Copies of this chain bind each other. A is one copy, B any other.
Amino acid sequence: MRERLTEHGLAFLRQLAQDPERVLAGDEISEEYSHDELSGTAGWPQAVFRAKNVAEVSAVMRYANEHAIPVTPRGAGTGLVGAAVAVAGGILLDLSLMNQVLELDEDNLTLTVEPGVLLMDLAAYVEERGFFYPPDPGEKSATIGGNISTNAGGMRAVKYGVTRDYVRALEVVLPDGEIVELGGKIVKNSSGYDLMDLIVGSEGTLGIVTKAVLRLLPLPQKTVSLLIPFPTLGQAIRTVPLIIRSKAAPTAIEFMEREVIADAEEYLGKKFPDHSADAYLLLKFDGSSAEELERLYEGVAQICLEQGALDVLISDTEERDESIWKARGAFLEAIKGSTTCMDEVDIVVPRSRVDALVEYTHGLQAELGVRIKSFGHAGDGNLHAYILRDGLPDGVWEEKLALAMEKLYERGRQLCGQVSGEHGIGYAKRAYLSESLPPRILALMRAVKRAFDPKGILNPHKVCEP
């Protein structure tokens, strides 16, 4: 049984922090701490503890474990599935003050960071120094700790893989407060079970990441983007498997529709560089020279034109690139701004089947009479689809949302997909996870959870917990 935080517990936290601004309780807790970036999941912690170092994190967990008090770790709160919401009350452990870059190791090509470093700051830090951290989720103000917790993917996953592929070592505080190190500054490791990759993507339910050693690459010397207008979205997306088959190895392949672009234009107050079409593919290539890139993208441009593309716009200046990718980066906020309330699915399917999934969302929109906007990673099969409430009254919205979700996830399963490509399961998607996975897999996940957290105090009711 989990317990509530007592006055004694709150006094312990205040004593530990020695700083009233880092322990919040009652009215001191701002509304922001009760939810994340999407509105579905809500819950107030009894106290917020803003940790400054691993010793504090360890002390909080030791106390919480002894007294069976729930603890929910949290970064920047930019999640979409409620993973960082304190649905069981207790302590919200805010790691955003632990935001230092600790070491750039040029011999081992690693960067050691605290979990609260923001993705945009991390990218800027390494790129200024000629290095490259490939994972590139749209949300740049997320923390790296949050990215590790969800195994975030981002746009460059097509060529470079996901966050998991760039984690070399983790310092983790276990639910009872013990501090362990997993992995190392090593390129290979076959020394026992891979507990580090269990922590990656576990959404703060198995341990709290307090330090990470990340793998870097040399910064590619040249990049070029292609913006390719198509008459229809179907034509655009059906071209993607042909690009993959051509072995051109693009860095990113995104698709976008006019409607979503229009929202982004309004949100940013800036025009998108092309208005000729209803649907676009946006590709990025990187490499070591302009000639190398030209060879790569010329073949792809040819394929797109053969498939009916209206044009191929080449962007090789920073300004133009920024105007395109800024729009792409603003899609989530822009769609959010276009409606009253929304919820999302983050289904991932084999990339050859993403066209079938997108077509399905279009049909569903008409069938249910709700707006569904989607964009996403055509190159890696990860679709972000948003179901918009607009003016629907309470009961109707809930009914239609539930139906839309159920049907989308069912279609995802039929297409051999998984519930989440990168946003995670958190609190909001548990039912869909447990429908999509066989009971035995869920039982194994729960057994793993018990092995790490026998009292069930760390981020309860998340991922695989009923």
Contacts and interface: CB of A to CB of B under 8 A. Distances in A.
Given A247-B130, A249-B217, A448-B448, A417 B197 contact: no
B445 A193 contact: yes
Given A180-B440, A249-B218, A438-B180, A350 B185 contact: yes
B194 A201 contact: yes
Contacts of A396: none
A189 interface: yes
A195 interface: yes
Interface string A266-304: 000000000000000000000111011001100000000
A164 B194 contact: yes
Nearest to A205: B193
A197 B185 CA distance: 19
Chain A interface extent, by class: 35 or more
A352 interface: yes
Contacts of A379: 187
Interface stretch (A18-26, A35-43, A226-234, A418-426): A418-426
Given A107-B244, A444-B451, A437 B186 contact: no
Given A165-B165, A417-B184, A445 B197 contact: no
B192 A445 contact: yes
B194 A198 contact: yes
Contacts of A425: 190-192
A285 to B, nearest CB: 11
Interface string A94-112: 0000000000011111000
B190 A380 contact: no
A421 B248 CA distance: 32
Nearest to A247: B218
Interface in A158-207: 158, 161-162, 164-165, 174, 178, 180, 182, 184-195, 197-198, 200-202, 206
A348 interface: yes
Contact of A381 (B157, B186, B200): B186
A128 B99 CA distance: 49
Interface string A107-135: 11100000000000000000000110000
A157 B450 CA distance: 34
Contact of A441 (B107, B182, B292, B350): B182
Interface in A424-466: 424-425, 433, 436-438, 440-442, 444-445, 447-452, 463-464
A174 B287 contact: no
A437 B153 CA distance: 30
Interface string A72-103: 00000000000000000000000000000000
A130 B191 CA distance: 34
Contacts of A244: 106-109
Contacts of A185: 350, 416
5 contacts: A158-B187, A187-B351, A191-B419, A192-B445, A218-B249
Given A184-B417, A190-B424, A195-B445, 14 more contacts: A107-B241, A107-B350, A109-B244, A151-B190, A178-B440, A190-B201, A190-B420, A190-B425, A217-B249, A287-B292, A288-B292, A288-B296, A289-B295, A450-B451
In the A-B complex, the 6 residue pairs with the closest CB atoms: A218-B247, A107-B352, A447-B451, A187-B380, A197-B197, A153-B188
Interface of A: 105-109, 130-131, 150-153, 157-158, 161-162, 164-165, 174, 178, 180, 182, 184-195, 197-198, 200-202, 206, 217-219, 241, 244-245, 247-249, 287-289, 291-292, 295-296, 346, 348-352, 377, 379-382, 416-425, 433, 436-438, 440-442, 444-445, 447-452, 463-464
